[in-house]
Amino acid sequence: MKITTITLHQPAGLLRLVTGEGFEGYCTGITATGYDVERAASIVVGSNPLDRERTWWALRDLDEGLPPALRAGIDVALWDLSAKIAGRPLFRHLGGFRDRVPVCRASTAGGTTAATGDPSGDADPSGPEIVKEAKDAQQAGFKAYRFGAMADENTLVQLVREVRAAVGPDFPLILDGRALCVVDEAIRIGRVLDEADYFYFDRPRPRNDHSGGKQVAGEIDTPTTAEVRSPIEASQVMTVQSADHIRTSVRSAGGITDVLKTARCAEAFGAYCHLEGAGISDGFAHIHLAGSLRNMPFIEMSRHEVAPPFVLNPLQIEDGLVHLPDLPGLGMEIDQDAVMDMTSERIEA
């Protein structure tokens, strides 16, 4: 069995791998140049779709490297392919831990982009917006709520307390520091999180600031997380103890394979691996990962996740849970006519 073609539909963003036997693997939300697709094809086309690890290493070691998003898209499509060939939903193909995943409601108040982990949101939301959103999330059955830090420390500290008072003592809350806090500020905020019994303090310090992260984690009781983009970075965070848990995503890490390696590293240290967001590019991949791994406490989603128009069965949240698709592979049902309607450029190699 061999992969015969790799195709990228732009601007639809659908990446497609096809085997000679007619199996197709997909990933959505991908953009790339024809040059990079051709470079990837030199490794992927002609390979066995079940030899994912070999392909992962070959793409990783490609001269000059591939854009992480393209490498991630190929890896996701390979996992989709292999699970379809096996006739199993991807989460069971990965090992299988649960068929329903708890959802943490990610804030979108004030036009921020907290749901995607992007710290460059429009304007800081107001306190009342956040408080209302937290209460709505709790009433809708979400299992946790995460909101982002604002520039003013005093306002933020007040909001931390107001949100806790609004939802009561038992609803898990997460504050995303957006890697914007200086060490002393992060420690002061963290101590307020201790008082308010928050689930964890997400990204108090910038990625790879092991010294600052360790200082913060050592001074507060609330668990902290650090953003990582590779298994190596995860091992560094865990070994140095610059955070209690880690966060990553399929898109930033470079694929499902990368997240699996990262999550296993965290698991060996008794830590959680938190997945940031479940949007267009990685939503289906993230829920299957969360369905196969024990140390992912929940999947992070906004109230209404955006899905490409050509996906006929977008993810649905019911009572704070996402039910994993029972179809083979990722379980995405693709409207091929809609893909073609959205395609102005077809890159094939």
Query: Per-residue pLDDT tens for 85-118?
Result: 999 999 999 999 999 999 999 988 754 433 334 4
**What is the average pLDDT across 241-248?**
96
- E strands within 33-152? 100-106, 144-148
Which residue has better confidence, 68 or 214? Answer: 214
Share of the chain above pLDDT 70, in %: 93
Confidence of residue 281 (pLDDT cuts 50, 70, 90): low
Averaged pLDDT score across all residues of the chain: 91
pLDDT of residue 118: 42
pLDDT at 126 over 80: no
Which residue has better confidence, 306 or 140? Answer: 140
The two domains 3-88+332-344 and 93-323 share their CATH topology (first three levels equal):
no
Q: What span, in angstroms and rounded, lies between the C-alpha atoms of 139 and 321?
A: 13
Q: Which of 127-131, 190-194, 305-309 has the lowest mean pLDDT?
A: 305-309
Domain 3-88+332-344 has what CATH class?
Answer: alpha beta
For the chain, domain boundaries = 3-88+332-344, 93-323
Q: Which fold has domain 93-323?
A: TIM Barrel (3.20.20)
- E strands within 84-217? 100-106, 144-148, 173-176, 200-202
Residues 6 or more apart whose CB falls under 8 angstroms from that of 49 comprise: 1, 2, 3, 17, 19, 23, 25, 78, 81, 82, 85
**What is the average pLDDT across 244-266?**
95
**What is the average pLDDT across 109-134?**
62
> Nearest Cα to 148, choosing from 169, 127, 170?
127
pLDDT of residue 15: 97
Q: What span, in angstroms and rounded, lies between the C-alpha atoms of 151 and 160?
A: 13
pLDDT at 339 over 90: yes
**What is the average pLDDT across 219-244?**
96
- Supply the DSSP symbol for 96: -
pTM over 0.95: no
The backbone region for 247, taken as left when phi is positive above 0, alpha when psi lies in -120 to 50, beta otherwise, is beta
Helix (H) or strand (E) holding 283: helix 283-292
pLDDT at 306 over 70: no
Secondary structure class of 89 (helix, strand, coil)? strand
Largest CA distance in the chain: 62
Confidence of residue 276 (pLDDT cuts 50, 70, 90): confident
Which residue has better confidence, 120 or 208? Answer: 208
